[in-house]
Amino acid sequence: MAYFDWTPALSVGVKTFDEQHKKLIDLINTMHEAMKSGHGRDRLDLTLEELKKYTVYHFEAEEQAMTQHGFPNLEAHRKEHEKLVSQVRDMDISREDVTTVDIMEFLKRWLTDHILGTDKKYSSFLNSKGLR
């Protein structure tokens, strides 16, 4: 069993974004596997860098679709994205009191809350514009 499982409840009804969310979940699971095998700190920098890059790519894709289709809550959604990017950038992984567990828990909680609370708000709107 993975640390963070994709479930149908996490689907936003747009295949591209569901696949991108799955990739983000896979990156968190990769970090978890490294931690379980005793290589969490070794892999943390590399995985976090990949996670940051992919997150920016994903956020840009979402924002582009919302802009293209005139999503009315684009600015609020964009602010949520900016907040996460800032929080991840501000993580000081060199501190002794910051563990891979802390980072994984933060990312899992944030991604779950963001998908279920924020991304779900664009589902029906983008679906009505033909995005599935």
Domains and CATH numbers, the chain: 14-128 (1.20.120.50)
Q: What is the pTM of this model?
A: 0.91
CB atoms within 10 A of CB 121: 14
CA distance 122 to 77: 9
Nearest-angstrom CA–CA distance, 114 and 55: 12
- How large a percentage of the chain has pLDDT more than 70? 95
**Per-residue exposure over 34-50, b if at least 16 CB sit within 10 Å of its own CB, e if not:** bbeeeebeebbeebbee
92 pLDDT exceeds 70? no
CA quadruple 48, 54, 57, 61: dihedral sign: negative
**pLDDT of res. 93:** 63
Report d(CA 12, CA 17) in Å as an integer: 7
Higher pLDDT, 126 or 97: 126
Taking residues 41-65, report their average pLDDT. Answer: 87
Q: Assess contact for 22 and 129: CB atoms under 8 A.
A: no
Residue with more model confidence, 73 or 86: 73
